[in-house]
Structure 1
Amino acid sequence: MMTQTLAIRDLGVRRAGTDILSGVSCALTTGQVVGVIGPNGAGKSTLLSAVAGQTGFSGTVSWGGSGSGARHKAGDIGYMPQSCKVSASLTVLETVLLGTHERLGWRVSQGDIARATGILGELSLSHLASRCMTTLSGGQQQLVLLAQRLVREPRLLVLDEATSALDMSHQISVLMLLKRYVVRHNALALMAIHDLNIAMQYADQLVLIHDGRLVQQDAPENVLSVENIRRCYGLDVDLVARAGGRPVIAPLAQAMA
């Protein structure tokens, strides 16, 4: 399967006379989990929404040679916005199977059921398959909705804080699942991550946004430097070396304004 590239060039979003994003440019290839990081209000959600074609923007976004405004092949992009909940009385399995409806025209085969149950198994949700979505916790709903995006096997996943309601163990499990997924399907996962240590250890690349502008795109150990963290987050940190792995970020104190 050929490598595809997500190319973002001079992307800008302006609302009510204010620049939310300005001049963001980067190129990301398949086979990677790319974390979008930055402080609250930096523009992470706006960037992901623009990439997914849900927000108007200036500049260009192309995926595999086609612009984000064009109609993509069904299932090629899986977008999970920040506020994404299910209030309908559907079971977990029914909710995941809804992810196939665009391609299948509401016809569900045994193969689709097998794939959906397999994904639930990978996310340790098999025991909830017959439970009503409205009875689940916020973290459980978040995992089910991620499974719904994965069941269509998109090659571009755009996930806005898909692990925000999860404990550390489940966050790591999801990141490891996504890393296997992008390799298996030659896909690209672009996701907002708040926990900088999770981003440091489990992302293949990071895109750091601050005040609506791209600060740096690179390997996590290069992006999460002491200088970048102080500049963007207002924190002084130590980077604690770890044998055979990337450093751990240890906050010291809030930087003076």
Structure 2
Amino acid sequence: MKELEAPPDHRAHLPAIEPERQVTDWGRSERVEGFFDKTIYEFLYHYWFRVEVEGIEHVPSTGGALLVSNHSGALPPDASMIAKAIKTEHARPRNLHMTVEHFFKGYPGLSMLVAKLGGVPAHPANVHRLLHDEEELVLVFPEGAKGTEKLYKDRYRLQRFGRGGFVESAMRARAPIVPVALIGAEEAMPIFAHIRPLKKLTGLIYVPVIPAPGYLPAKFRIRFLEPIPTDQWGEEPWNDKGLVQTVAEEVRARIQEELYEMLAERKSVWLG
């Protein structure tokens, strides 16, 4: 029997890594992100939202981990504040990659900026590569657009977490899931109603009725909860759809319970 030949190694033909390169394979720009971090994020984090952080030690210092958070606000500031918290409060600051909905493709300028700031299209292959191959931190919002377009009267009531795709991704990568509960964003840019005719006319995702053109100075609290390991269920647990859905519901329930507890402890929307 003829012995099979090994495929040729083409790695030598790949372009060398440029030490001065400031844009990653994902389109993330150190220059653009650094500018936003030192100006807008710094101001919002320390002076406008006055963010308080608990449980930052639950974010792993090394290896891949999937952070799962509640999502809210007409123009949600939660992702940038969570990323800023990890960079500011963690003993070993790390970059955070944020998955974004595919609707950003319809807005070329915005989609380009989101990529430069660490946004990655929400696809299982992208999440797996970041968690498993690159061992990075990834933030997902399972509520998706249902969370951001939620009305103020429904604040802090978590929407469905889909079919548990985020759990499958974490299981395949053998990465822990870190639930995150955040309060303040619902009041920072609340939505009181939607103007449906304008949505159809403009083609926008939604046209909300908001009290002000910018963020209101609500007090933010971010609580990182104890990680849930995903390497405890044997081989290929992602094939068990019942288990995947159960874990997804457990993560949702933990975040919901924590939100209610944080709201009960809060004395003032603006002062905390």
Q: TM-score range by the shorter chain?
A: 0.3 to 0.5
Q: Which structure has greater strand proportion? A: 1
Q: Which structure has greater helix proportion? A: 2
TM-score (normalizing by structure 1): 0.36
Larger Rg over CA atoms: 2
